[in-house]
Amino acid sequence: MKIEILGTGCPKCKNVEENVKKALEGSNKKAEVVKVTEIGDIISYGVMSTPALVIDGKVKVSGRIPDAEEIKKWL
């Protein structure tokens, strides 16, 4: 599984990363977590507001911070 956090490194993006880690800790899932910070790469997903979360190539959320429980449902 590949999880991508889209954003320029702002505090909200860091919160998403923390929540992803919490969600993974509470599951038996293994994932590669990648930060995508280049604007062109972010736009290529069709995302216009960050932070955004992409799991296996599918945008799950953009423009807000999902909590760990919500992320667990997507895993």
Peptide bond into 66 cis (omega under 30): no
Would you say 35 and 63 are in contact if contact means Cβ atoms under 8 Å apart? no
Residue type, 63: G
Q: Which of 10, 34, 39, 48 is catalytic?
A: 10
Asked about 10 being catalytic, the answer comes back as yes
Structural contact between residues 7 and 16, judged by C-beta atoms closer than 8 angstroms: yes
Q: Which of 3, 13, 20, 52 is catalytic?
A: 13
What residues are labeled active site?
Answer: 10, 13
